[in-house]
Amino acid sequence: MNTGAVLLYHAAQLYCNLYKVTDFQAKETAGIGVYSALSLINHSCYPSVKHYFIGRSLVMRAVRPISAGEELTISYIKPFQKAKKQERKILLQRYWFSCTCEACVNDWPTFPNLPALRFKCLGCKNPLDGRPRVCYACVTKRRDPDKPQTEQMEVVDSIWRGILNACCTDLALNIGQKKTREDYLTVCQNLQLLYEHVAMPCQHVIIMHQLLYKYFEDEF
């Protein structure tokens, strides 16, 4: 490779693989940085990881359950709930690729147009709409023999209790209550429960994420 090609290669790398370093706590931008290993992480409009900076240190934390071997992704731009597909497409032009994440392929709506909550079939994972909560896609093969109705209703109750708990915690933080590790772990458990039983996309998961990020600010 000649010198010109090497320079062009690195210039292109700098254009696409830089991080804007903004301290999460101080909310100040310190500049831009190259993080050689973490620059390899690809984009998704529905990312599995939240990234932020404490000083100049780049921190990445999982925001949803990640299966073994599943690719870690961050969002280079506004995530799906904040920008429509067409807007995201324009924002991604500078990175020279078209996004094929789950949100783009299925054209998930932005936050105001999302359903508040949708439960999913634990068999085929499809969303269950309406009552009774029977999955017509796999009802012939499976009538939930391993999950008696009472057990399902207990899960639904726990999910609603978790959402109520998150609303109360958020309200308490907004009026100055101190963050505790115990509350943080409760938020994580409730989010885990939502991901197990709720079909994405839905508003309550996004709301729970916003609460989770408040704890990231204090390094919980």
Please report whether residue 104 would count as binding Zn ion according to CB under 5 A: yes
Q: Does 123 bind Zn ion (CB under 5 A)?
A: yes
Pick one of 18, 38, 58, 138: the residue that binds Zn ion (CB under 5 A).
138
Phi, psi dihedrals of residue 75, rounded to the nearest 5°: -105, 120
- Determine, following the binding rule CB under 5 A, whether residue 137 of this chain makes contact with Zn ion: yes
What is the nearest approach in angstroms of Zn ion to the Cβ of residue 77? 9
74 binds Zn ion (CB under 5 A): no
Q: Is residue 45 close enough to count as binding Zn ion by CB under 5 A? A: yes
Residues 6+ apart with CB under 8 A from 22: 28, 29, 30, 52, 53
Neighbouring C-beta atoms of residue 8, cutoff 10 Å: 12
Q: Which is nearer to Zn ion, 121 or 205 (CB)?
A: 121
End-to-end CA distance of the chain: 47
**Least distance (Å) between residue 105 CB and Zn ion:** 8
The neighbouring-strand residues paired with 61 are 50
Q: Which is nearer to Zn ion, 24 or 108 (CB)?
A: 108
How far apart CA 157 and CA 204 sit, in angstroms, is 15
Q: For 133-166, b where at least 16 C-beta lie within 10 A, e where not — what string?
A: eebeebeeeeebeeeeeeeeeeeeeebeebbeeb
Residue 135 binding Zn ion, by CB under 5 A: yes
Q: Residues 63, 74, 77, 99: which binds Zn ion (CB under 5 A)?
A: 99
Using CB under 5 A, which residues numbered 147 to 166 contact Zn ion?
none
105 touching Zn ion, by CB under 5 A: no
- CA 144/CA 55 separation, integer angstroms: 50
Positions that interact with Zn ion (CB under 5 A):
45, 99, 101, 104, 121, 123-124, 135, 137-138
